[in-house]
Amino acid sequence: MFTGIIQGLGTLFEKRPAGGGMIFGLEADFPLTDPEEGESIAVDGACLTARNIKGCRFYVDVSPESLARTGLGRLQTGNRVNLERALRLCDRLGGHLVSGHVDAQSKVEQRRSIGDFTLFTFSLDPGLTKYVIEKGSITINGVSLTVNTCERSRFSVSIIPHTLATTTLGTLKEGDLVNIEVDMIGKYVEKLLAEKSAGGERQSRINPAFLAEHGFL
C-alpha cells in the first residue's frame, strides 16, 4: 500500500528481457534506509518487488501483465521514474490509499500554465469515468493528485510547483502517456452496490440511501 507522495526519483540503469517479462535495474536518488529484500516499491505508480538491494540500487522483475497495462516497457536506460516505498502503519497518510495496481494509461491532451501552477488535461478511458469525481483523488505515475474537473472522456488536475520540481510530471508534454490508478474506494462501493446474482446471497445493507444517510453522497 502507498500514499502517492513521491519520496524521490530513480534512474533506470539496466533493462533486459527475462521470461516473457523484463528485469529493471534502478538507482534511487534518496537513501533506501533499512532495506528489506522483497519489499514493495512503486515505480511510476506500479507496485513492484525490490531485490538485490545494495545502497541506492535495486532490481525489479516486471511481469508481462505490468508491461501490457503500464508504460514501463517504453522506458529506456537513463530515464527517470517516480519512486515511493511501501507505506508503514506509523507513516503520515499525506495523499490517499494507493494500491500500486495501474488501471490504464492516459494521454496528456493539454498542458498550460496558470500563474505558478500547471493545468494538465488527460484523456480518460470510458470504463473508468464512474470512478473519477471532481475533488476526488487519482494517481498519475504514482503521484497522488486531486481531480479539478471530470468529463466523460477526460479529466484535469492542477499541479503545484513543488510537485513539478520533485517528480517526473514536470517533464510531461502533450501526447505523452501516463499510468493511471483510480481511487480504490469507488471500486469497493460499486461492488457492494452491485445486484446480487440469483443464488441465495444476502442483499447488502449498503445502498444509495445508506450512503446518503451517512454523508457519503
Which carries the bigger pLDDT value, residue 166 or residue 216?
166
pLDDT over 70 (residue 82): yes
Answer whether 83's CB lies under 8 Å from 28's CB.
yes
Check whether residue 65 and residue 117 sit in a common domain: no
Q: Is residue 79 part of a domain?
A: yes
Which carries the bigger pLDDT value, residue 152 or residue 27?
27
Average pLDDT rounded to a whole number, residues 74-100: 91
Please tell me the distance from the alpha carbon of residue 206 to that of residue 8, in angstroms, as a whole number. 40
Confidence grade of residue 64 (pLDDT, cut at 50, 70, 90) = very high
pLDDT digits (tens, 9 = 90+) for 171-195: 999 999 999 999 888 888 888 777 5
Range of the domain at 25: 8-85
Task: Specify the pLDDT at position 213.
Answer: 73
Check whether residue 130 and residue 75 sit in a common domain: no
Percent of the chain with pLDDT over 70: 90
Which cell goes with 173? 508534454
pLDDT over 80 (residue 88): yes
Task: Specify the pLDDT at position 217.
Answer: 61
CATH code of the domain covering residue 55: 2.40.30.20
Tell me which residue has cell 517528480: 167
Check whether residue 128 and residue 59 sit in a common domain: no
Check whether residue 73 and residue 36 sit in a common domain: yes
Percent of the chain with pLDDT over 90: 75
Q: Is residue 171 part of a domain?
A: yes
Answer whether 186's CB lies under 8 Å from 97's CB.
no
pLDDT over 60 (residue 7): yes
pLDDT over 90 (residue 208): no
Check whether residue 80 and residue 108 sit in a common domain: no
Among 85, 114, 145, give the residue marking a domain's end.
85
Task: Specify the pLDDT at position 195.
Answer: 58
Please give the tally of structural domains in the chain.
Answer: 2
Check whether residue 76 and residue 133 sit in a common domain: no
Task: Specify the pLDDT at position 198.
Answer: 42
pTM here?
0.85
Helix (H) or strand (E) holding 161: helix 161-166
Confidence grade of residue 196 (pLDDT, cut at 50, 70, 90) = low
Average pLDDT rounded to a whole number, residues 6-12: 97
Please tell me the distance from the alpha carbon of residue 108 to that of residue 14, in angstroms, as a whole number. 27
Task: Specify the pLDDT at position 91.
Answer: 81
What is the β-pairing status of strands 143-150 and 154-159?
A: antiparallel
Which cell goes with 193? 452496490
Task: Specify the pLDDT at position 96.
Answer: 86
